Chains A and B, each alone.
Chain A
Amino acid sequence: MGDAILGGLGALFEGIRFLFAHGGPNVIMIAVACTMFWLAIARGVEPLLLMPIAFGCLLVNLPLSEVMDAGGVLNTLYAFGIGNELFPLLIFVGIGSMTDFTPLLANPRLLLFGAAGQVGIFVTLILALALGFSKEEAVSVAAIGACDGPTVIYVSNMFAEMGRIPTAMVGALAVAAYSYMALVPVIQPPIMRLMTTKKERAVKMPSPKGKISPAALIAFPIVVTVVTGIIAPKGLPLMGMIMLGNFLKVSGVVPRLVNASENEIANVATLFLGLAIGGTMAGQQFLTRETLMVFALGLVAITIDTVGGIFLGKIWYLLSGGKVNPLVGAAGISAYPMAARIVQSEGQRWNKQNFLLMHAMAANTGGQIGSVMAAAIMLSILKGMGIL
């Protein structure tokens, strides 16, 4: 009887014993989780994602936690919605239904900024390879340059499921991607000022034609899905889901489905995705040199994306005889609508009469399509090479 009581009491203190014996990484990760809570609550940094990620991180790092063991709640969520890429795709349906492509349809040439804004992906891929990452790891790290959390998770998890990259890396990549997306207002303005002259920043662009026919808006997602699906079928789930969400919205006949996509589906998927991603952040696997390199390369990727967009903007400025404001190029990334708002505020800073928002929105939605397209093309090339 006495032994049983002592054994029972001992079990209660096993967690504390573990913490003192091997719990250093767990303590660090619990501190990381608390930092994420602070960033989300006090600083408003991507709270929708950081809150569940941080809570998942907290749960998995408590001593002797079984949440990521077979049958554990976070492991079940991971297998249910990340292992098969379901959650990122559901979030894409929501993103599609929340995105207004009208400015892009009014000025389709600005879609090219959405291509220039992906250059960071490919440059980072080369850097990651040079730093010793495997091909699959390098592609996953480079995907941070898409500035798009669900895309990063979709791509990296594909390799994690094949055992080509560690599962913990998916968590590091997701956190890096969402952190840098939130930091776009801090990262972009200095680059914008460094790469452009006052004269260039002050360029006023005429308002684009405002109206687009409903038929054109409806045809757009169908055409994009078909064309991009034929070119890069490996990315069809990504592009298909974003265009499905947009198609539901512009059709105007399924308001309940649009409402569900924007709210219930996107919210539930975001909560579960965040928790499951947080669950991959167990200290023993997460705190590695590779994780630090992932964060460093992610910053490089987003910086080069911005440089690429502004560089194309400067070329366009020269070719158009000074009619295109190069700042608009910085919006050619997927962080929507944050990047467009930054361009608008930077433009107005140098010319109070300047309204770049609609142009920047066009480039920004182009960036959304561009990031998905770049990921789709990467996956298709990998399939062509026999890697996927």
Chain B
Amino acid sequence: MSNVSFGLTMLIVGMGGTLATLALVALLIHLITLFFPVRDEKKEEKDG
């Protein structure tokens, strides 16, 4: 593989892959925070 095609492959797949993976992780973090919301302590005390 020539240096030009190697460099371009790394740029496109590497940068694209990093961006896509981090976007996926960001989405998963959002889902995690939805799945495990902060509990309202005052409400819990009232319920308790």
Chain A residues with CB under 8 Å of chain B are: 104-106, 108-109, 111-112, 114-116, 118-119, 121-123, 125-126, 129-130, 135, 138-139, 211-213, 215-216, 219-220, 223-224, 227-228, 231-232, 366, 369-370, 373-374, 377-378, 381, 385
A219 to B24, CA, bound (A): 15
Contact A112 B23 (CB under 8 A): yes
A129 to B38, CA, bound (A): 49
**Chain B residues with CB below 8 A from A106, complex form:** 33
Interface size range on B against A: 20 to 34
Contact with A along B24-46 (1 / 0, CB 8 A): 11111110110111110000000
Q: A224-B25, A369-B22 are in contact. Are A231 and B17 (CB under 8 A)?
A: yes
Contact A227 B28 (CB under 8 A): yes
Main secondary structure of the interface of B (DSSP, over half): helix
Contact A227 B24 (CB under 8 A): yes
Q: How many A-B pairs fall under 8 Å by CB?
A: 115
Q: How far is the CB of B22 from chain A (nearest CB, A)?
A: 4
**Contact partner, B25, options A122, A126, A129, A369, Cβ 8 Å:** A369
A sample of 14 inter-chain contacts (CB < 8 A) reads: A112-B19, A114-B22, A115-B23, A118-B18, A125-B7, A125-B10, A125-B11, A130-B3, A213-B33, A213-B36, A231-B21, A374-B14, A377-B14, A378-B10
Q: How far is the CB of A372 from chain B (nearest CB, A)?
A: 10
Q: A122-B11, A135-B6 are in contact. Are A366 and B22 (CB under 8 A)?
A: yes
